[in-house]
Chain A
């Protein structure tokens, strides 16, 4: 059974720092991997989608990498801002099109 783990569970940093959020999964037979952001009481906003044939995707200050063979993905946030404060969720999409979510990283960026 696929298990997805995110480290760290929580992170509190000053504004301007570059951040690395980690995601690991136990079964490398994934179809895609998607990173989401969730603000308190809100739905999930898609940040980046990495297809299984890709190794990374970039959007603005965000960069996500994927290493299927080692079962790892990393979300890199450059020059963090207070507006980046949220919970970040990693999820793998299996070959039945279902999402398996990680445990989440709660990020706080203070001024």
Chain B
């Protein structure tokens, strides 16, 4: 069964810590995405990548960075965690445009910053 795997389901970090959220996909997808989901605000795109070493800013990139050193792995980095980054973080992957194109999501990481 094809999968997008996020390394942690729940994470509690302190304000000011550097936080790494890891995402791995086994579908050989070119595209990978990071979203955050908050009540009343829906899903918002943080960063995305169309290929290894590539990254593009989404709608809310401030306070975040990403790394994609290998095709299957896309990491989201909170440089200095703040309480307003407490949220559910969702990783997704997809093929480039094609007949079977569609998104596959991971199970999410619930991050609490205290």
Contact = CB atoms under 8 A, between A and B. Distances in A.
Contacts of A45: 105
26 contacts: A31-B97, A32-B101, A34-B102, A34-B103, A36-B105, A43-B105, A43-B106, A43-B107, A44-B90, A44-B105, A46-B105, A49-B100, A49-B102, A51-B101, A91-B103, A93-B94, A93-B101, A93-B102, A93-B103, A95-B97, A97-B50, A98-B33, A98-B48, A99-B33, A101-B43, A103-B42
Interface of B: 6, 31, 33, 42-43, 45, 48, 50, 88, 90, 92, 94, 96-97, 99-108, 110
Main SS at interface, chain B: strand
Contacts of A61: none
A97 B107 contact: no
Contacts of A103: 42
Interface in A54-110: 89, 91, 93, 95, 97-99, 101, 103-104
A32 B95 CA distance: 12
B97 A42 contact: no
Nearest to A4: B42
Given A31-B97, A34-B103, A91-B103, 18 more contacts: A32-B102, A41-B108, A42-B107, A43-B107, A44-B103, A44-B105, A46-B102, A46-B105, A49-B101, A51-B99, A51-B101, A95-B97, A97-B31, A97-B97, A98-B48, A99-B33, A99-B45, A99-B103
A91 B97 CA distance: 15
A37 B99 CA distance: 22
B102 A43 contact: no
Please give me the 4 A-B residue pairs with the lowest Cβ-Cβ distance, nearest first.
A49-B102, A44-B105, A43-B107, A43-B108
